[in-house]
């Protein structure tokens, strides 16, 4: 999961550098007034999203599988704890009724 996040961040930073270079050289127009920084960040974000979607498909699938494994493990632990609690409650009820 961390690897996917770092790869995604790397693609964004690369796009940010490219867009900044294009704006600085005048190939891409600057934002209006003082919005130049926001314009560069937004444009880099819009460009990096589809690139990440296509390039990181395999890594995203691996990260998704890790998340699914964690969720299944948490569900199994929760179910085990719940069955232990049920058994403890049943045992306490039996000892009360026997007394």
Angle of helix 2-25 versus helix 36-55 axis, rounded to 10:
130
* Co-location of 73 and 42 in the same domain: no
Range of the domain at 81: 56-99
pTM of the predicted model over 0.85: no
* Co-location of 6 and 43 in the same domain: yes
pLDDT one-digit tens code per residue, 48-69: 999 999 999 999 999 889 999 9
Calpha distance 85→95 (Å, rounded):
15
Whose tokens are 């704006």? That residue is 23
* Co-location of 16 and 47 in the same domain: yes
Query: What confidence tier does 71 reach under pLDDT thresholds 50, 70, 90?
Result: very high
pLDDT one-digit tens code per residue, 17-35: 999 998 888 888 877 666 6
* Co-location of 46 and 88 in the same domain: no
What's the structural domain count of the chain?
2
* Co-location of 20 and 67 in the same domain: no
């Amino acid at each position: 999961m961390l690897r996917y996040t770092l790869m995604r961040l790397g693609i964004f930073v690369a796009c940010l550098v490219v867009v900044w270079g294009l704006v600085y050289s005048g190939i891409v127009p600057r934002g209006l007034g003082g919005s130049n920084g926001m314009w560069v960040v937004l444009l880099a974000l819009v460009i990096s999203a589809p690139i990440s979607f296509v390039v990181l498909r395999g890594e995203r699938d691996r990260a998704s599988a890790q998340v699914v494994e964690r969720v299944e493990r948490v569900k199994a632990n929760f179910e085990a704890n719940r069955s232990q609690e049920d058994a403890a409650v049943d045992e306490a009820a039996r000892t009360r009724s026997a007394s």
